[in-house]
Structure 1
Amino acid sequence: MSKQEIMYSHVEDWKASGLKQATYCENLGLKLPTFSYWVQKYHKEFSQSVTSSFVSISKAVPLYKFLDKLNIKHIIIETYSLIIND
């Protein structure tokens, strides 16, 4: 594994742990400033890739209120993705 893969794995483990960065680093013997650098780099890389790809749009529709009145036996629910190109 490359250094980046190792540190990104640490970032993901830290996020899942719910610990503060300092506590996580202390437990694993990592230097806090170095780990913080990788956390920033990780967020910068993945926030850019997410914002330029897809935007999720959802709307809750209370269909259950109308099912009996409309005598509907099958429902197909479709999901749409909005892709925005810069």
Structure 2
Amino acid sequence: MTVQVTITPNGRMSLPAEIRKRLGLAGGGALLVEETEDGVILRTVAQSIAHAQALAKKYTEGNAAASVDAFLARRREESGE
């Protein structure tokens, strides 16, 4: 879905109510703005977390040394704990 929104002179814009409802932002909320070569991406915090998790999985899947537990174990080992 593509919609056109207007940016006011002071930089504010309004997302249509239908989109806010679908994103769970009907009562207000936060969006993260990501600037890319192709434009701007708006994501909810939950969408951003899911996106980051998908990226992490893509680059670490099947690599046990890339787990959080492995990282913490290495840090303990390096610090002499």
Query: Shorter-chain TM-score: what band?
Result: under 0.3
Alignment TM-score, normalising by the size of structure 2: 0.28
Alignment TM-score, normalising by the size of structure 1: 0.27
Q: Which has the larger radius of gyration?
A: 1
Could you say which structure has the higher helix fraction? 1
Could you say which structure has the higher strand fraction? 2
Higher RCO (Cα < 8 Å, 6 or more apart): 1
